[in-house]
Amino acid sequence: QVQLMESGGGLVQPGGSLKLSCAASGSAVGGYNLGWYRQAPGKQREWVATITSRGRPNYADSVKGRFTISRDNADNTVYLQMNSLKPEDTAVYYCNANLFPSQFWGQGTQVTVSS
């Protein structure tokens, strides 16, 4: 079992920045791929970024060049630095831990980009 707790969401103006954090606890967290998904109102949950257990990041095209995912294995924390935010980035952001066949989710944190 892995427990995930997100923090860092909030209201930001277009063009601004936010940094999300996700604290992971449980057994063998370091072996999991950690990632972020988001779900906007009325839309399906979509993948944003993943960082493998070895530290290799991957990004959705919609956030590439603006968002940066990182992880601190000493603290079992994954981060999402979000720059140049757009109104279309508004969503609930969920932390995800996966190692086939197991998958765990956090409760989510709201990010609102609005002037």
Q: What pLDDT is attached to residue 27?
A: 76
Averages of pLDDT over each 10 residues, the chain, 115 residues: 95 98 90 96 97 96 98 94 98 96 96 97
d(CA 7, CA 95): 10
What DSSP string runs through 63-81? TTTTEEEEEETTTTEEEEE
pLDDT at position 94, please?
98
Give the list of residues 6+ apart from residue 21 with CB closer than 8 angstroms, or none: 6, 7, 8, 77, 78, 79
Query: What CA–CA distance (Å, rounded) separates 67 from 32?
Result: 21
pLDDT on residue 87: 97
